[in-house]
Structure 1
Amino acid sequence: MSTNSFAFKDSQTQERFNEWRRPSRLKQISAISILTASLYLIFAYVTKSFIPADILPLATLVHVYLVPSILIVIALLAYFKIRYLLMTFLLIIAPIVAATGNMLIVSEFEGYTTYQTELYLIIFWVFTVSGLKFIHALLSGLLIYISATISAYLIYPMNTEAFVLHSFWMIAALSFGILSGYLLESSQKTIFLKKEELEKIAITDRLTGLYNRVMFDKVVKDELEKFKRYKRTFGLMILDIDFFKDVNDSYGHLVGDDVLLEFTKIIKRYTRSSDTVIRWGGEEFIIISLEVDKDGLITLAEHIRKKVEEHNFKTVGKKTVSIGLTLNKESDDINSILQRTDQALYISKNSGRNSTNFLY
């Protein structure tokens, strides 16, 4: 899985990263847009007394009306998910507008060097605090750099000394900005992958790689909520390997682990991708089967039972499995549906094992 600063190679991972990062990005974008708009207004107020009178209307247009207005709109759009693309577009455009305004202002009078520092700050702002994704920040930053270089060389030419210094500080600002943006996004992706790894460890059985009890509560709770809204039933199945204790006692726990791994492969081979398979503990497993009726659930259980019966396990030979089944109903909670499935399993184990029983 790639962690380059542009995108994960796995599109699903990229989408999960985007969703994970989005709430904090929106807060950042909203806050920094309001702060930057405020600073522009303060800057306009501070400089109005000594900026040349013939340039004041242009400076006022840029620093009071144009740039702050765009930034305030961006801050408001950050609260509306349906306007996310528009907000991103304006966030890319806003620094370009600010930079263009700065270039127009400094071209109008000779004492421009003090005001030109705004241009370098804009580039650094794009990469470090704007909240733009790195690829979008790179697009905005490069457009500013190219247009500023063309402007300083062709449209409003500077003398050689000024152009060389200006070019150096532009390259410096762009370089620092790109490096900062790259490192920031890379570190966020590293944090995200570590978070996903820890979450996976928390919900995964170490031996079999199946989900554990933590995931059971989440999935059943979600499916019970969906049933209330959409009336989609789901099935619960508990599978218990018969006489598994004899395996551990006779062959040792390492062989017992091998049996559990082989059993896991059988279950995974014959369940659907929409089914959730859980190691409940010891030799007990649970399958949560979505959008299934009684006949379909029994057919699945019997298929697995027969495949286990037919399988020749390494070292221990033949083994069988007892299975308890149920479907959810209107009055169910997590405990009631689990208890009913467990009762069905109890019937299977006490009626000779290697059997399937359904309770509703």
Structure 2
Amino acid sequence: MKKLLFSNIVFDKNVSERYNKSIQAFTLIQIRIITILTGILYIVYSQIDQYIFPPNITNMASAIHLYLIAPFGFFISVLTFFPKYFKHMINLLILAPIFATFANLFLVKDLEVFPIYMIEIYLIIFWTFNISGLKLKQSSLSVFFLSMITFIYYYFILPLPKELFIMHTFWMLSTISFGFVGAFLLDRLSKINFINYEKLQNLAVTDNLTGLYNRTKLDEVLNYELDRSKRFNYCFSFLLIDIDHFKIVNDTYGHQVGDDFLIEFTTLINNNSRSTDYFFRWGGEEFVVICPEVDKENILIHAEKLRQKIESHKFQSIGNKTVSIGVTLSRSDDSIDSLVKRADEALYKAKNSGRNKIVFE
């Protein structure tokens, strides 16, 4: 049965899936903006190349920045308009920092003042961790490979002087550390905010005592089912259940026993309903069950089984209890008000004809 039993939310696999789905649209926008901006900056970089690189590699540097890296960024931004390519886009985004690092190392290998270009690698690490739009694991994977490539290059291929290698390694590790911590904290804060948002949403649509959907959620579900029934030409049932003489329970045993009874009553209904049904607390001792895609015969059979199950069940502390049920089926011209009114009239007849009955309107 579709119900919402509220409890403390743990960030497990199911919550992670909902979180990932909820942030995907924002992530696409973030990646689109960042990759466009990065592409523009590399176009500007290609013009700066003419002033800082020696003449023998100026054209190559400009070509790499202008015709390879910038278009690579723009291509990723184009993919953000096609969510079906999301995984491919992320893979390219993971590769982008590695590609930019390769380009940097390739261009500076013949420069006498190549250490000044190491700063670009620090910027690449910061970009990957904090603004690229990659998740923490993805950005960490990208940074791991680019840092290994840089380390191997400056230790084995183009060995740096000892002092410079030590300082470069220190600044690399510092950049990676700060970038990782920053990305971790942002990721953690984002997930905590999502969990708190879900909790607030749950509180808004659930009954505190039973954990069932409340009347706010009922209106939402009824609108959905009415639209769907009209579109696909089927009926759904609306059962309004009232616990007979519930006030006597509170007066005789106290409100705590009454609350315990309502929780036990909720469990009993849940265990004897279909997984596709919706269960709500209407208020006080009244409950609502919505059963999609049923006809009159089947819903009356189902309602009678519920009535008998409740009548024969021995509740803790108070023993046996009965219910009166008003039943109706949706009609093509129904509104929420008309549907509820028929069920309420049926319930009124059930209660006024001796209780422990089912009446269909």
The two structures have a TM-score, normalised by structure 1, of: 0.93
SS of the residue 2:56 aligns to = coil
Q: Which amino acid aligns with 2:246?
A: F
Q: Are positions 1:255 and 2:257 aligned together?
A: yes
Could you tell me how far 1:255 is from its partner in structure 2? 2.6
Q: Which deviates more from structure 2 when the two are superposed, residues 311-320 or residues 331-340? A: 311-320
Contact kept? 1:32, 1:129, Cα under 8 Å: yes
Displacement after TM superposition at 1:232 (Å): 4.2
Kept in 2, the 8 Å contact 1:240–1:321? The answer is yes
Residue number in structure 2 paired with 1:118: 120
CA distance in 2, matches of 1:153, 1:232: 72
Taking a change above 3 Å as real, the CA distance of residues 230 and 107 of structure 1, as seen in their structure-2 partners, is farther
2:192 aligns with 190
Q: Would you say 1:216 and 2:218 are equivalent positions?
A: yes
Residues 60, 285 of structure 1: alpha-carbon distance in 2 compared, 3 angstrom cutoff = same
Deviations 1:270-304 (A, max 9, x none): 11222111100010000111222222222221111
> Structure 1 vs Structure 2: percent identity of aligned residues?
43
**Secondary structure of residue in 1 paired with 2:324:** strand
Structure 1 vs Structure 2 CA RMSD: 1.7
Instruction: Please say if residues 62 and 98 of structure 1, whose CA atoms lie closer than 8 Å, have aligned partners that are also in contact.
Output: no
> 8 Å contact 1:34–1:75 — kept in the other structure?
yes
Q: Distance in 1 between matches of 2:160 and 2:302?
A: 79
Q: How does 1:236-251 map onto structure 2 within 5 Å?
A: 236-251=238-253
Mapping of 1:281-320 within 5 angstroms? 281-320=283-322
AA at the equivalent of 2:327: L
Query: Where does the alignment leave 5 or more consecutive residues of structure 1 unmatched?
Result: none
- One-letter identity of the residue aligned with 2:207: D
Of the structure 1 ranges 96-105 and 42-51, higher mean CA displacement relative to structure 2 is found in: 42-51
Q: Give the Cα–Cα distance (whole angstroms) in 1 for the partners of residues 182 and 306 of structure 2.
A: 55
Is 2:222–2:336's contact at 8 Å kept on the other side of the alignment?
yes
Report 1 or 2 for greater relative contact order, CA contacts < 8 Å, sequence distance ≥ 6.
Answer: 2
Structure 2 matches for 1:100-139, cutoff 5 A?
100-139=102-141
- The aligned residue for residue 100 of structure 2 is 98
In structure 1, the residue corresponding to 2:53 is in which secondary structure? coil
- Kindly indicate whether the alpha-carbon contact (under 8 Å) linking 2:9 and 2:195 is maintained by their aligned counterparts in 1: no
**1:1-360 correspondence runs (5 A):** 8=11, 10-359=12-361
- For structure 1, which segment, 56-65 or 22-31, has the greater mean C-alpha deviation from structure 2 after superposition? 56-65
Q: Cα offset for 1:72?
A: 1.0
Q: Deviations over 1:201-231 (max 9, x none)?
A: 1111111111111110111112222223333
Alpha-carbon spacing, 1:311–1:327, altered in 2? closer, same or farther (3 Å) = same
Name which of structure 1's ranges 213-222 and 313-322 shifts more when overlaid on structure 2.
Answer: 313-322
In structure 1, what is the equivalent of residue 5 of structure 2?
none
One-letter amino acid of the counterpart of residue 71, structure 1 = G
Partner SS state of residue 54, structure 1 = helix
Q: Partners of 1:35 and 1:255 in 2: how far apart?
A: 64
Could you tell me how far apart the structure 2 residues matched to 1:119 and 1:74 are? 20
SS in 2 for 1:312: coil
d(CA) in 1 for partners of 2:70, 2:312: 73
Q: How far 1:189 moved relative to its partner?
A: 0.8
Aligned length: 354
Q: CA deviation at 1:47?
A: 3.4
> Is contact 1:322–1:355 with CA below 8 Å preserved after alignment?
yes
Unpaired runs of 5+ in structure 2?
1-7
Is the deviation greater in 281-290 or in 217-226?
217-226
Does the 8 A contact of 1:240 with 1:284 survive in 2?
yes
Using the alignment, how far apart are the partners of 1:188 and 1:224 within structure 2? 36
CA deviations on 1:307-359 (whole Å, 9 max, x unpaired) are: 11112233333221000112222212222222222122122112211111222
Q: Distance in 1 between matches of 2:227 and 2:261?
A: 36
CA distance in 1, matches of 2:9, 2:201: 19
Structure 2 CA distance for aligned equivalents of residues 144 and 227 of structure 1: 56
Q: Secondary structure at the match of 2:55?
A: coil
2:4 corresponds to which residue?
none
Report the Cα distance in structure 1 between the residues aligned to 2:247 and 2:306, rounded to whole angstroms. 21
Paired with 1:349 and 1:253, the residues of 2 have a C-alpha distance of: 23
**Normalization by structure 2: what TM-score?**
0.93
Q: How far apart, CA to CA, are the structure 2 residues paired with 1:93 and 1:285?
A: 56
Q: What is the match of residue 3 of structure 2? A: none
